[in-house]
Amino acid sequence: MKKRIGVLTSGGDAPGMNAAVRSVVRTALDRGAEIYAIYEGYQGMVDGDRYIKPITWNEVGGILHKGGTIIGSARCAAFRTREGRLRAVRNLISHGIDSLVIIGGDGSLTGANILREEWPELLNELVESGEIIPEMAEAHRHLTIAGLVGSIDNDVCGTDITIGADTALHRITSAIDAITDTAASHQRSFVVEVMGRGCGYLALMSCLATAADWVLIPESPPNLDNWEAKMCEVLKQGRLMGRRDSIVVVAEGAQDRYGNPISSAYVKKVLEERLGEDTRMTILGHLQRGGAPTAFDRNLSTLLGADAVEAILDANGESTAVLIGIVGNKVTRTPLMEALQQTQAVHQAIASQDYDTALKLRGKGFVEAFQTLRTLVRALPHDPQPGKRRLRIGVIHAGAPSPGMNTAVRAAVRIGVDKGHTMLAIANGFKGFVRNEVEEVDWMSVNGWAPVGGSFLGTSRMSLSGSDFYALARSIEENRIDALLMIGGWSGYQAALEMHERRHNFPAFDIPITCLPATIDNDLPGAEFSVGTDTALNCIVDAVDKIKQSAVASRRVFVVEVMGSHCGYLGLMSALATGAERVYLPEEGVSLKDLRADVKMLISGFKQGKRLGVVIRSEHANETYTSNFISALFEEEGRDDFDVRRAILGHIQQGGNPTPFDRIQATRLAKKCISFLEEQVEQDEPISACVGMVSGKYRFTNLEDVPRLIDKKAKRPKKQWWLDIRPIARILAQPAPRFHTKTEERRSKMNNMPVGD
């Protein structure tokens, strides 16, 4: 008997829920299970009948880009009663469902856990009342549950980030960026209220991403009774330093240290009365919850949904309910009860005004972000500590421009200056370094840099050779540089390594150097994500979404070429986020056999009613089978069923303002780099290293180890974590369940057929 799985979305909707539903449905069908959609959340489970019905492969096509949830959601009062849950169990059993994937917030998951605990008793009641027969109860003795956290608030433990939080952060960041422009024009102050209930994640991270001037969050209220005076003093100092606007971000659950609510209206009143400033208030509201999900939320939901099905199929009668989350860039399974208890502990700590515990329970990343923000929101840096060595630290960009480079410079400069160091900006990459284009920068030199793409310092891909090293050494000596921070791509890493290797010939190079990964290609060693990659990925996804709208009107296939150099990260992840039928990667190459099979797959799909197709090609997937070649081939072979267009996205992928993910990543990495340089400069033999997040932790990799980590020919890491995602992308992009498996089985049979005389 096939496993029957029910999927529902419950509570407040969150962008990315549709991607999760699609992933659950298609993974279940491909694995041979039967899948039922439970419409309108727990209300549909209680009402039964037309609200519980099978859902097909094609019904979840074309929904990745849609916000909300196509199967509906509702908050159900009846489910909170035992009588309501009894009706829900009867409806599930009548459809043979004893496994559930529940996508919702902490309330929805708590309800699921209660249902699971009561399941045996409720079955017995139904048998005793004659509503189900004993054999039916025995066949479904256990309820298996896999929970996915769909919540923009990011307020549930057991996962680093919840479905919808990244999209909500995008909405907030875009709104504050726009508000900052108008505020600066009129020298106004703005109070911006954001969602989050009792969690300050959205407020904290949006403040960090937009360089707002003050934030109020429930986990760490102001530690002063007269906090209003401190806030006004900092904002006033900022104006005296030349800042034309003041932005205060208020979490909807903000409170003072005695637990009294702090409203955005009250903050507005304080600014008007104490500073006499023209102040406006903006409550962002439900725009944070709606709209198309970001690339991150689509891919997160897809990976979690696929694993939720695997968790259910792996379960037995003794298995506990699990929460499927992501921790350290790995999909994880946490006992649901454990995650809910930890989540409740945070709420209890805030309610009891134990704010240190509340902060700690939010996680190390939350605490570090808050500490970093406290430095960056200052109007002026701290005075230098007496007796502490004051360094002269150079900051340089190298390689192609990448969104987030300016954010990293701003963070590095302000954190360095706050620690008493002198920060030196090197213009135009190593080309400018050779020409001694170096100048000192201060706290306000980088004001307004955080949200802007491109590179204010200027960058270049210059390869060092011959006399360049003499010029570099002279420039370092003349500017008395004690340490160097390189923000950029592979050419910057190479230059830093070459300097490190020539220390014996050039004593000036005997300084610590750290490399901060900033390239849209995501092809650098020692880092799972480079600054700029998320922005480029969202740029591609936005473009493909628009292309798909164009294609559906005229039965068309688009061949979309994306950047990435010899790394297929952008290709694969954009294909996963857009539901592309096929992706060609440099790591796999392209063969004529592949193209022949893909043409047949597309023709088959269009003959069965398909209206559009998207094929994504990484720019160096194959030097012979170019985008032009593939487009011409598909056009010729599919002329009776579809026409073909190509779209080479080009340099729009390098432009645009950085996403919140890239801004926050750049800020965190910059802080780590400054601390690393401070430590190494005190060593007898300082090392040079590149920084990056690996398995959820920030790590430094010695530059001397970089050559063995790199595929020298392709100029990409030998091991790339994201390649493990390929099977999921391939399964979900099929035109039907087990399409590829059946095709391979047919080929195998044909190859094994006896050949006649």
Residues marked as catalytic: 153
CB contact at 8 A, 544 and 462: no
Q: Give alpha helix (H) positions in 211-263.
A: 227-240
Which is nearest to 217 in space by CA: 346, 45, 93, 313?
346
Q: How far apart are CA 617 and CA 564, in angstroms?
A: 10
CB contact at 8 A, 125 and 112: no
In angstroms, the Cα distances linking 168 to 65, 297, 368, 371, 719 are: 15, 10, 21, 23, 32
In angstroms, the Cα distances linking 9 to 20, 29, 566 are: 10, 19, 39
**Residue 542: exposure state from Cβ atoms within 10 A (0-12, 13-18, ≥19):** middle
Q: How far apart are CA 267 and CA 289, in angstroms?
A: 24
Q: How far apart are CA 389 and CA 610, in angstroms?
A: 67
- Structure tokens of 662? 């890239």
Q: How far apart are CA 103 and CA 37, in angstroms?
A: 12
- Structure tokens of 714? 């392709």
Q: How far apart are CA 737 and CA 13, in angstroms?
A: 28
Q: SS3 breakdown of the chain: % helix, strand, coil, rounded to 5?
A: 45, 15, 35
Any bridge partners for residue 615, and if so which?
559, 582
Q: How far apart are CA 679 and CA 659, in angstroms?
A: 31
Q: For 260-273, b where at least 16 C-beta lie within 10 A, e where not — what string?
A: eebbbeebbebbee
CB contact at 8 A, 220 and 242: no
In angstroms, the Cα distances linking 172 to 137, 179, 288, 498 are: 49, 10, 6, 42
CB contact at 8 A, 399 and 428: no
Q: How far apart are CA 673 and CA 526, in angstroms?
A: 14
Q: In what order do the strands lie in the sheet with 422-426?
A: 438-441, 422-426, 392-398, 483-488, 513-517, 689-694, 697-702
Helix (H, G, I), strand (E, B) or coil at 19: helix
**Residue 30: exposure state from Cβ atoms within 10 A (0-12, 13-18, ≥19):** buried
Helix axes 364-376, 405-418, angle to 10 degrees: 70
Cα angle for residues 578, 579, 585 (degrees, 5° grid): 85
